[in-house]
Chain A
């Protein structure tokens, strides 16, 4: 049992906890559950998990607060559960340090896949920086600031390259508009979503394969929230 990664699930809906406990256990996780924010924080301190799944709505607080408190001492991947119509809270959770969110109702398999992806990413990050990243036919040389798709060099402006770099280094992770603007342009530009949209559109025009029916292969939009570099 000790070899299994422990995951903390926080949701006040007992029925959801019952189902998720079985699903996650069968996916190879050790599951601890909490029904309130305070219980979650206590449990996390006593039995530190490798990852946490946190519902945004809790009886004694909210998932944003839990995320913030966990982030104070841990880099563990945090996945928040939300319902449609909670965009604002979702963004706040991501800004508080959540790695991703998943919207109710979700398939259990999707939840497991997302959880494993965030875990892999955090393991990878721990392993150290990679000078070159290769993703599905695209090679990004971070040291040389060069990009090749199917062996063909792609010419990017410095801002486009920085955008791609931030997205790729956080690949799989949802980056909010604010986070991207802050990292690429600097903290003073955090609200200029329009500029971000423009540059993302140019970047896509250069790197996305043509004829994919308008559906981006690499940079996926999360409406109203941000962008994610697809794994």
Chain B
């Protein structure tokens, strides 16, 4: 029943011709229905039957067709049913009472129906506007840049409000003959303009001005503010990060430069003493040379890191053999403590061999340092997949040290981060792994670590293989 009333009150009426037809058919049907009813009720009271037709027509088609139905009903009732039957009589007051009743009913029901219909239409519009506002908020405040989402937002608006065209621009636009411009403001500040096609209906223009533009102003203003805030946050975070790095750098310099310097200086003074043996002299000389190398590695690391952070580490990529680069890396480190196994017929890789060598040296040195005297296994192989697109070269560096707690697995690649207790930072500068990852990624590869505490750690290099 509700659905039937819903149909009666649907916001758009069927055509007028259908209305006239319904009026004629309705009056005819009512005339027919009255015949059998005459045997059970007095004829004069059966005029109410015609009210059905008047009601239906005036609800759906409004007062004028309703009135027409009333007049037709009065005429039909008079001609077919009121005595004398088959003739129009105008002096009997029954006729006038029936006609008046029909007209009043037509007027009342049609106006009630019209009010209801208007409300329904307005409710629908409001709902669409609310949906539109939600969607606009989602679009504008989602996080992409405002300039990128504005065309989509305008298109959605045009669709939802059935506008011929709509555009939202972040500048002041003067209206011309083909468009209507709504300025978007926040206070006195001009944010931009909503431009719609000139053929937009008066009703829709009113709607836009009254309800859409204020919502749009609030949203655009919020989105702009959000963009500003985000930019500020990013900048602050970058500054803070730079600050953290500077502090850490000072610490690293304080600690990691001073230890080798102390050893060199003490060994230098000791070597000049008269009472030392030849073996001691040799040992002290080795201390000086070894610590000097350590210092120069640290300096290189610092330079590399600053290059990577400045984005200045442009790789000079050329075809190279991973076997050669790993070999060179092991030579740098003195090869004891490593077990190298490389598959035969390894494909060549396009990368900067010097950068890759630094990456390998740093990871290998780190592995040996943490392996507690156990050999570090280094294994290289090529992994081929169908279609060649995912072909890659994998180097795994496996140590048998204490491993890395899960919470620190990613942090080991942060500059100056050293696994273990905060003050027990040993030997390493905390730069090597950050640099290794930086150089590997600069060459299109990746470096990550797999580890279970107590079971050592495996550093995995992956380098993409390109077809020659």
Q: Which positions in A face B, CB cutoff 8 Å?
A: 12-13, 15-16, 18-20, 22-23, 25-26, 57-60, 62, 81, 83-86, 89, 104-109, 111
CB contact between A15 and one of B258, B280, B291 (< 8 Å): that residue:
B291
Q: Quick check: B270 and A19 within 8 Å, CB to CB? A: yes
Contact partners of A105 in chain B: CB under 8 A: 258, 261-262, 264-265
Contact partners of A60 in chain B: CB under 8 A: 424
Contact partners of B280 in chain A: CB under 8 A: 22
Q: Quick check: A106 and B262 within 8 Å, CB to CB? A: yes
Q: Give me 10 other A-B pairs in contact (C-beta within 8 A), A23-B266, A106-B266 excluded.
A: A15-B267, A16-B263, A18-B267, A18-B287, A19-B287, A22-B273, A23-B269, A23-B273, A57-B255, A109-B269
Query: Chain A: interface secondary structure?
Result: mixed
A77 to chain B, nearest CB (A): 20
Q: Quick check: A19 and B424 within 8 Å, CB to CB? A: no
Contact partners of B258 in chain A: CB under 8 A: 83-84, 104-105
A51, B280: Cα distance in complex, Å = 24
Q: Quick check: A108 and B426 within 8 Å, CB to CB? A: no
Contact partners of A85 in chain B: CB under 8 A: 250-251, 254-255
A106, B287: Cα distance in complex, Å = 16
Bin chain B's interface residue count: 20 to 34
Query: Chain B: interface secondary structure?
Result: helix
User: Which residue of A is nearest B257, CB measured?
Assistant: A105
Q: Quick check: A16 and B426 within 8 Å, CB to CB? A: no
A85, B254: Cα distance in complex, Å = 7
Find the residue from B262, B283, B284, B290 having the highest chain A CB count within 10 A: B262
A160, B250: Cα distance in complex, Å = 39
Q: Please list the 6 inter-chain residue pairs (A to B) with the smallest Cβ-Cβ separation, ordered nearest first.
A: A19-B266, A19-B267, A15-B263, A105-B261, A22-B270, A108-B269
Q: Is B438 an interface residue (CB 8 A)?
A: no
Q: Is B260 an interface residue (CB 8 A)?
A: yes
Q: Quick check: A104 and B270 within 8 Å, CB to CB? A: no
Q: Quick check: B424 and A108 within 8 Å, CB to CB? A: no
B116 to chain A, nearest CB (A): 80
Given contacts A18-B283, A108-B270, A109-B269, contact A57 B425 (CB under 8 A): yes
Contact partners of A108 in chain B: CB under 8 A: 265-266, 269-270
A136, B258: Cα distance in complex, Å = 35
Contact partners of A12 in chain B: CB under 8 A: 426
Find the residue from A15, A25, A58, A81 having the highest chain B CB count within 10 A: A15
A81, B262: Cα distance in complex, Å = 10
Find the residue from A59, A81, A86 having the highest chain B CB count within 10 A: A59
Contact partners of A20 in chain B: CB under 8 A: 266, 270
CB contact between A16 and one of B251, B254, B259, B276 (< 8 Å): that residue:
B259
A9 to chain B, nearest CB (A): 11
User: Which residue of A is nearest B266, CB measured?
Assistant: A19
| B275-305 interface with A by 8 A CB criterion | 275-276, 280, 283-284, 287, 290-291
Given contacts A85-B250, A104-B258, contact A59 B273 (CB under 8 A): no
Q: Is B17 an interface residue (CB 8 A)?
A: no
Q: Is B423 an interface residue (CB 8 A)?
A: yes
A16, B269: Cα distance in complex, Å = 12
A171 to chain B, nearest CB (A): 27
B468 to chain A, nearest CB (A): 47
B267 to chain A, nearest CB (A): 4
A25, B423: Cα distance in complex, Å = 30
Between A and B, 25 residue pairs with Cβ closer than 8 Å are A12-B426, A13-B259, A13-B263, A15-B263, A15-B290, A16-B262, A16-B263, A18-B267, A19-B266, A19-B267, A20-B266, A23-B269, A26-B270, A26-B276, A57-B425, A83-B254, A83-B255, A85-B254, A104-B259, A104-B261, A105-B261, A105-B264, A106-B265, A107-B269, A111-B266
| B239-257 interface with A by 8 A CB criterion | 250-251, 254-255
Contact partners of B260 in chain A: CB under 8 A: 15
A15, B284: Cα distance in complex, Å = 8
A148, B283: Cα distance in complex, Å = 53
A85, B257: Cα distance in complex, Å = 13
Contact partners of A106 in chain B: CB under 8 A: 262, 265-266
Contact partners of B284 in chain A: CB under 8 A: 18-19, 22
Q: Quick check: B423 and A16 within 8 Å, CB to CB? A: no
Find the residue from B251, B255, B423 having the highest chain A CB count within 10 A: B423
A86, B280: Cα distance in complex, Å = 32
Contact partners of A89 in chain B: CB under 8 A: 423
A18, B287: Cα distance in complex, Å = 8
Contact partners of A86 in chain B: CB under 8 A: 254
| B348-368 interface with A by 8 A CB criterion | none
